[in-house]
Structure 1
Amino acid sequence: MLAAVYHGQRDVRVQEWPDPPPPAAHEIQLEILRASICGTDADEFASGPHLIPLTAPHPISGHVGPLVLGHEMVGRVVGVGAEVTELTAGDVVVPGSGVSCGTCRRCRAGRTNLCDRYYTVGLHVDGGLAQRVNVPARISRSVGSCPADVAIMAQPLAVALHAVRGTGAEPGARVAVIGLGGIGSLAVAACTAWGIETIGVDVSTARLEVAERSGCSLLINAAQQDAATAIRRATGGEGADIIIETSGVLQGLETAMKAVSRGGHIRLVGLHRDASPLNLTRLVLDEIQISTSKVHICDQDLPEALALLKEHPQIASSSLDAVISLQDIVPAGLLRMAVGEAAGKVVVKP
């Protein structure tokens, strides 16, 4: 089969790759209908490997070496393991990205994204930027009547829902989203669907336009004005009650610190790889809460994402940047995302 295989920094090749074996007892095999590129994929391409076990075996999955990218996908079931009863051949499903054991203390508490034996499809084992892939049945959900072009947004939307839910945001809260890429724009869309107005911050005019389509009520171009000042001006000088930081860059965190209100909440979603000094004194004196959000909880967030997409299918179209072929994944996908040219989600038709 054809697959997008990660060989190292700036080295992703669309090449012939072995078909996956027959699914194990707990697995299903998917014929991929749609996949999409995550910012993490672009980060691995541009400056990695950070998460991909290229030179040493992953401690849980055991994989080492080149790997098929892709943890956002929709596929048709073409093979079913002996122990799988909830899905059958022909079903169209969307898998979650992370695989959990289901038995450790955190899994039993419902926090499967913090599982002791957690690993990620497309980062720690072969993923869905290919024609076929095997995934555990327990992380897969039927899309029902949701079209594949809409359901492809379910996994990243689940990540956004997990991030927004963790803030406790409700209608009337003053919410700012810093970084309006794939997850940031979907966080805006989730807030809009829940009746929560948002302020969107980015340096890209194109991404700001995507956020506007997603329902953002106020747009701030941080390349043209001081974003923290603009947020405070828009909130009567008080600052935002909740700031969702998805950019993963130091400037985004600095803006969040300057723009959050007393007693406010900063939710970190983007992966910050640079040292990020914080004004701990202000955090304490103004009782500012900082929390973090890691991917999603499959049993909770993925079904909710599918339900939201069925009710609001425009979320998918408003968050879309481009639909490309698998053969074009490097020039039209990874490269554009690495340099900040992609305004929304890049979807791949294998």
Structure 2
Amino acid sequence: MTQQVQLRSIVFKDINQVELETKVKTFKLGPSEVLIQTLYSCISAGTEVAKLSGLQKVSYPLYVGNRAVGHVIAIGTEVDHLTVGEFVFSHIHHQSYSIGQQLVCPLPNQLEQPVAAMLGMGLVAIAGIQTAQPELGDVVIVTGGGLVGQLTAQLTVLSGATPVLIDIVDERLHVAHLCGINTTINPNRENPKAYIMELTSGRGADIILECTGVPSVSLSAIDYARRNGKFVFVGSPRGRYQTDITPFLEKVHLWKPGGNLTLLGAHEWKLPVKQNDFCKHSMEQNCKLLSRLVIEKKLRLDPLISHIYKPEEAQESYQDLIEHQNKVLGAIFDWRD
């Protein structure tokens, strides 16, 4: 099956150069593939800004984006779990039409709104929660108040634990309060370690969920942990950083206060796309769980959207992310005509 469309795509042409490319494209569907017309796509700020700025080495031109929602407009001959017209989430680029990639998860029609595109960031956050396994009564430190950190903190509350969100941007901490995160710290005004030790009667936090991807933050955040605690990388570490790593390793290894830590990675792609008998969780299962939590108003996404851009504003959108971190939190592209 083939289908010809007028395709619009956001492309990184070079470092700090963003363009909206328009061309006629003919999609040829394989038997198990689906073609999706995009409604909304979510900017994964940490990943995409790192690639645009040169912090993460990539080859240009680069087609970017991997979290979007839209309607299925064509299906291959062997597709039996989706129908034309169905509203779905998929890991697809910032473009007006795409072949569904990896996960193509059907969503309830009542989620047909911009916030649905942020379910992809929820998949990152929930992988961190499922890796860390917080329990009722745990104190959990979440470093970073971007989309992943905000969603991680909300999911921590739903697990029964107490999150403490740390970020240097007051506007992000304000949004966290709107979403039910009661305890936040701005380290520019308050000593996080002193606060956490007072909160935990000198023991330290049970779990650290590192959501910034900034190596220097990891080195400071490990000091907030209790003995036998867990340190989980939720955000992907990026950028070159030179330091003495021995104190960090001692925290993991030595039997002393704040030591003997378990160090864990929680990349979302550690999970299978489809559920199987060998893994408790899957990306499809998580996507459906997150959508249900949003519908039940247990997971709040609306306060997280700060900007909705048209694709023609792509250069402006990424410039805002780089230059106005205190103003941009959740950024969505609206692909509707």
User: In the alignment, does 2:258 pair up with 1:274?
Assistant: no
Among candidates 129, 133, 155, match of residue 164 of structure 1: 129
Change (3 A) 1:153 1:20: farther
Q: Distance in 2 between matches of 1:256 and 1:206?
A: 21
- Structure 2 match to 1:147: 111
How many residues are paired up?
306
Give 1:230 deviation, angstroms.
2.3
Report 1:13-52 matches (<5 A): 13-19=19-25, 21-39=27-45, 40-48=47-55, 50=57, 52=58
Instruction: Give the C-alpha shift of residue 254 in structure 1.
Output: 2.2
2:295 equivalent among 299, 306, 310: 310
Cα pair distance change 1:342/1:46, threshold 3 Å: farther
Contact persistence 1:27–1:80 (CA under 8 A):
yes
Deviations 1:15-57 (A, max 9, x none): 214435132222111111111100211211122553x4x2xxx
Q: Which residue does the alignment assign to 1:249?
A: 214
> 1:336, CA displacement in angstroms?
2.2
Instruction: Find the aligned partners of 1:200 and 1:222 in 2 and give their Cα distance.
Output: 11
TM score, norm. by length of structure 1: 0.82
Distance of 2:129 and 2:26 partners within structure 1: 36
**What SS does structure 2 have at the residue aligned with 1:172?**
coil
1:230–1:335 Cα change, 3 Å:
farther
Closer, same or farther: CA 143–76 of 1 in aligned 2, 3 Å: same
Give the 3-state SS of the residue equivalent to 2:216 in structure 1. Answer: helix
Identity percentage of aligned residues? 20
Q: CA separation of 1:2/1:225 partners in 2, compared to 1, >3 Å: closer, same or farther?
A: same
Cα 1:278–1:92 shift into 2, 3 Å:
farther
Shift of 1:195: 3.1
Kept after mapping to 1: 8 A contact 2:12/2:19: yes
- Structure 2, unmatched stretches of 5+, are 1-6, 272-282
| Whole-angstrom CA distance in 2 between matches of 1:268 and 1:166 | 10
Q: Where does the alignment leave 5 or more consecutive residues of structure 1 unmatched?
A: 55-64, 98-120, 122-126
Distance 1:278 1:180, change over 3 A: farther
Q: TM-score, normalised by structure 2?
A: 0.84
Cα RMSD (Å): 2.0
